[in-house]
């Protein structure tokens, strides 16, 4: 679930994780819409803003050196 501005909706994430040595890197992606969270796309004079939003979260974890 994802909560934005007091609205909670179920969201599915696609996650890719890789380990290299003592480092773990994970990337999670999902696509949502402003309208799913009762929001309107912002108005920007120099661009067109659509209802679609792509979210990406990147996590990097390293084991401490001993």
Alpha-carbon gap, residue 2 to 65, rounded angstroms: 35
Q: Which residues contact 15 (CB under 8 A, 6 or more apart)?
A: 26, 27, 28, 29
Contact 38, 5 (CB under 8 A): yes
| Residues 34/41, Cβ–Cβ less than 8 Å | yes
Per-residue pLDDT of the chain (66 residues; tens, 9 = 90+): 899 989 999 999 999 999 999 999 999 999 999 999 999 888 888 988 899 999 999 999 998 877
pTM, two decimal places = 0.76
């Amino acid at each position: 679930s994802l909560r934005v501005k007091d609205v909670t909706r179920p969201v599915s994430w696609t996650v890719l994780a890789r380990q290299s040595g003592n480092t773990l890197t994970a990337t999670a992606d999902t696509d949502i819409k402003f309208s799913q969270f009762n929001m309107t796309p912002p108005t920007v004079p120099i661009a067109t803003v659509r209802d679609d939003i792509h979210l990406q979260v990147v996590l990097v974890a390293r084991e401490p050196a001993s």
